[in-house]
Amino acid sequence: MARTMNNTLSPLQLAVIMLCARCFSMMTYFPYTSSNTLVFMLAIVASTALQGLLLIPAAVLCSKYKMGLCEIALLKSRPVGLLVTGGFFLYFVWDIFITTGTFAYFMDSYFSNQISRLPAVICAGTAALYLGGMGSSVLGKCAGIMFFVFAFFAGILILSAITYPDITGFHLAQRNIPKALAGDISGEFIRNRELVMLVFLLGDVKGSKPKAVYSYLAVKLVILEALLAFVTLVLGEFALATDTPFFYLSCLSNSSVVERYDAGFMSVWTVLALVRLAAVFHCCGRCVWILSGGRAKSAMVLSVQTIPAAATLYLLSKRSWKGLAYLNESPWLLVCAVGVIPLAVMLLRVRRRKVEV
């Protein structure tokens, strides 16, 4: 791990890393909701606006100091800096565990009866480790290529699926709309775990930090709304009745060249998983390096990254992963990591030392 990693990402590169991570979550599964599509789309808008408000302290702080949040906290107070970095480290270890296990679970459950969990975890983890260890700049460039592949595939998928669009799924015939909207806002907010990586990597941006944050939020909002609308046009009420609407859309899509696009879906979904996992590995390794004061050895960083990934194999082998795959985490954990901690670091004052004459 290089000793300095700041000022290596453009705002666009950071945005596409986060978009790849979010699109992987979107393509994996949708949480159960009793709402209709239009209410859910309104919830996505409200959730994105809430995320924009929470990210203001991090964007302002990193713009002022030109460094990452953990480095800023260490600059102001070493104990607070170590505490903040340790908190991010624990979150990324948990994220590695959840992302690796969920990837293997859904691949085994929906895509292939021939590939076992162990090769899936080993292949994905090895590739992600290699990519994550190459630096944030290389990760940003690779994410740009992968996001282009996703956009190209999504365009083909939509054009191949929409033959007789059905607009009857767009309505507000919903019982207790405020309650349904509040539930969907909370559910959609929880699914944006990549925001923690966004806050952590914000110091690496060599351009405008607020531009990186809000360009990501804007593009993400457009993508989510557009794809959800297109899925509803094809699947109707079934769009939110299943937890894997985009997978079913790929099964229904066909053209004169390709009969079904589920194999393409699996390929694109896999490369997005690699980018997301590589980004989490990268952030976790950076936390270890910061906590050790730059003295961490490669073997130590590698073990910290691989242990949570390998820990998923036990639950996967016992067929006990479903509860974690569909786990709804508390939104307050994400609120604290994304908004409260940067705000606390911003309000923390540096104690000036007395100058002896």
Tell me, what's the pLDDT at 248? Answer: 81
Which is more confidently placed, 192 or 207?
A: 192
- Domain residue ranges in the chain: 11-344
CA 137 → CA 140, 144, 206, 223, 310, distances in Å? Answer: 5, 11, 11, 24, 27
**Cα–Cα distance for residue pair 110/93, rounded to 1 Å:** 26
**Cα–Cα distance for residue pair 50/322, rounded to 1 Å:** 29
CB 26 within 8 A of CB 194: no
Which is more confidently placed, 109 or 178?
A: 178
* Three-class secondary structure of residue 205 per DSSP: strand
CATH architecture of the domain formed by 11-344: Orthogonal Bundle (1.10)
Whether the CA torsion 141, 145, 146, 148 is positive or negative: it is positive
pLDDT tens figures, 275-311: 999 999 999 999 999 998 877 778 788 888 888 888 8
Task: For the chain, state the CA radius of gyration.
Answer: 21
pTM: 0.90
